[in-house]
Chains A and B, each alone.
Chain A
Amino acid sequence: MSDPPKSADELPDWGPKMRALANDRQRAFVCALFEAPRKEGRVIYAARAAGYGTPESTNKSLSVIGSRLNVSDSIQAAIAEESQRRLRGLSPTAITALENLLGDPTHRDHARGIGMVLDRADPVATSHNITVEHKAAPHEVVAATKEVLARIEELARRAGIPQLPPPIDAEFSVVPQGANP
């Protein structure tokens, strides 16, 4: 494990959340969480590595100290920030591993590896099919065709309406019955 940083100012590459921590021990605790040798006991390892407790402190007491630190909002925010930073730092290793994967056509994840590279080199164009549905009333979509106008004239005659004003979407004239068109 690397030595815990002495001061936030000495390491200007800390993110704002790490800088916001109360002291260097807390920053060391966060870093040590990432460097713990195994999943189990990570909190105890980090608490001890950051200098909490005494050399005689039991695992139980270190576990209490570490757990309290681990659930504090400022430590949680710093862990999230550090996770992002370390994830980006993993890229060279990941690329190397991916190159190995791509170079081995017999590997069961070979095809998936190619897909991952292609996705990142030339991101898949995502298409969204958005259906905009406008339920127009039937009378809103009827065009003023010759047939429609003839039907209007016929219905108006049946309803006893001798003369109607012209519809606003069509030239309209009532031709008297028997008149030459």
Chain B
Amino acid sequence: MSASPDDPDKIMSEEEHHAWWATLSDEEKMVAYVPTGYQHLLLVIAYIKRALVLCEMKAGERLHHLEWLNKQTDNYISPEMLAIIEPMSDAEIAMMHEARSLDQNESDSKSFEILTNWKVFNSFLALNPSILAAIRLRERRVIKTKSLAAELSTLVGTRG
């Protein structure tokens, strides 16, 4: 069971989920496979980049944000993915602020739920195709890794 893409408060039954999944293109499925935590992180990376590019700040503050960005790379987000994401546009910033305004405090997760909602996240992807490009990079890396693993397995099997 999962939240409905149209209404986050509605929980889809298994049948409804299968029916919805069948309507998705391969690229949409690729996006749907991105864990919500990483969906949110991709948006925050674009948001921070926007702040770095446009906002006046002291060197220490700038360094702080850049070091934070640098630390976000892991097994999922590669340095290439980090580098390819473009700063948010005005429209994205407005959406982000609208979502953030729902949070009463730092521990509130309302904005997280809104931003990672299927429709909202896809709206961000439409406005900022670099995020989708980053997800594609990830997919290519997965495919490449799987292919290498298969080759290695074949090689080991042949020698054995």
Check A144–B82 contact: CB distance below 8 A: no
**Cβ-based interface call for B66 (8 A):** yes
Whether B60 is near chain A, meaning CB under 8 Å from some CB there, is yes
Is the CB of A165 closer than 8 A to any CB of chain B?
yes
B residues near A161, Cβ cutoff 8 Å: 49, 52-53, 87
* Given A148-B63, A158-B79, A158-B83, also A168-B58 (CB < 8 A): yes
B57: A residues at CB distance < 8 A: 167-168
Q: Does A87 contact B (CB under 8 A)?
A: no
A residues less than 8 Å from B87 (CB atoms)? 161
- The CA-CA distance from A36 to B84 in the complex, in Å, is 96
Residue of A nearest to B64 (CB): A139
How many contacts between A and B, using CB within 8 angstroms? 77
Contact A167 to B58, CB < 8 A, known contacts A158-B79, A159-B69, A159-B82: yes
In the complex the two chains form, what is the Cα distance from A113 to B156 in whole Å? 96
- With an 8 Å Cβ cutoff, the count of chain A residues facing the other chain is 26
Contact B59 A143 (CB under 8 A): yes
Give Cα A149 to B84, complex, Å: 22
B118 to chain A, nearest CB (A): 27
Q: Are A160 and B84 in contact (CB under 8 A)?
A: yes
Tell me which of A140, A159, A168 contacts B49 (CB under 8 A): A159
B14 within 8 A of A: no
Identify the closest chain A residue to B67 (Cβ).
A155
Contacts A155-B69, A159-B66 given; indicate if A141 touches B53 (C-beta within 8 A).
no
Docked CA distance A159–B62 (Å): 13
Which of A151, A156, A159 lies at the interface centre, i.e. has the most chain B CB atoms within 10 A of its CB? A159
> Least Cβ distance of A152 to chain B in Å?
5
Query: Are A142 and B60 in touch, CB under 8 angstroms?
Result: yes
- A160 CA / B83 CA spacing, docked (Å): 4
Inter-chain contact B58/A160, CB cutoff 8 Å = no
- CB-defined A-B contacts under 8 Å, sample of 11: A138-B64, A139-B64, A140-B61, A142-B60, A143-B59, A144-B59, A152-B63, A161-B87, A167-B58, A167-B62, A172-B59
